[in-house]
Amino acid sequence: MPKILFVMTGADHWTLADGTQHPTGFWAEEFVVPFEKLKAAGYEIVVATPGGVVPTVDKGSLAPEANGGQENADHRAHVIGTSTELNNPVDLAGVDLDDYAAVFYPGGHGPMEDLAVDADSGRLLADILASGKPLAVVCHAPAALLAAQGEDGANIFAGYALTGFTNAEEAQAGFADKAEWLLQDRLVAIGADFREGEPWAPKVVVDRTLITGQNPASSGGVADELLKALS
């Protein structure tokens, strides 16, 4: 059975501009929806985090209003609580890309804290880009791309068309004026061709082997494009 690596945040907070720590982690929908789609298609999922810590779910992402109702919220909470893959992660530093057909990064504010500056993740991203295998990244997880630099010091995703959580969405979520930096601004600064869609509406951008989604609602579309790339 071919394997897909889920690289997930190990952070349980996001440090804001004033130094306070906002409790966070990964976003439930962005893990559960692709996880279920990819498993249903016959792929084995392996979760990796910095240090091999069990990922923390952002409690806000389990609220009924974040899931289209209580039924979805309960289902996603159940999947997260019972997933052996999620609760037995491997250490990101020990990952061998040869073992995997593709790599997927779910979001949540957590990646802004750790994956944005994680050297192991940065090396993995460089390796997967060079390998030609599909790479899928959604919402705040494109923060991880900031740590991927080439030998010349330039970001390897410069010139790629991509998307991620937008400044407008961060403002509507109430964090734009509290954050130390904004994801859209940083992606533009590294030379990426940032493609912004309507706030909260599904938007998926595919450029070469890179598949990105703007927000939680884009999770399913990102998984569908990843399956298409693997077929």
Q: What is the pLDDT of residue 166?
A: 98
**pLDDT tens digit sequence for 68-93:** 999 999 999 999 999 999 999 999 99
Distance CA 220, CA 231 (A): 17
Q: What is the pLDDT of residue 125?
A: 98
- For 159, other C-beta atoms within 10 Å of its C-beta total 12
Q: What is the pLDDT of residue 1?
A: 87
Q: What is the pLDDT of residue 151?
A: 86
- Residue numbers of the chain with a pLDDT score lower than 70: none
Distances 20 to 14, 180, 231 between C-alpha atoms, Å: 8, 11, 45
- For 137, other C-beta atoms within 10 Å of its C-beta total 28
Distance CA 174, CA 208 (A): 34
Q: What is the pLDDT of residue 131?
A: 97
Distance CA 145, CA 225 (A): 19
Quick one: tokens of 115? 């994956």
pTM: 0.97
Residue 58, SS3 per DSSP? coil
User: 96 Cβ partners below 8 Å, 6+ apart?
Assistant: none
Q: Which residue has the tokens 């309960």?
A: 74
Radius of gyration over alpha carbons of the chain, in Å? 16
Q: What is the pLDDT of residue 155?
A: 97
- For 66, other C-beta atoms within 10 Å of its C-beta total 17
- For 211, other C-beta atoms within 10 Å of its C-beta total 26
> What strand order describes the sheet that includes 210-213?
90-91, 44-49, 3-7, 102-105, 135-138, 210-213, 204-207
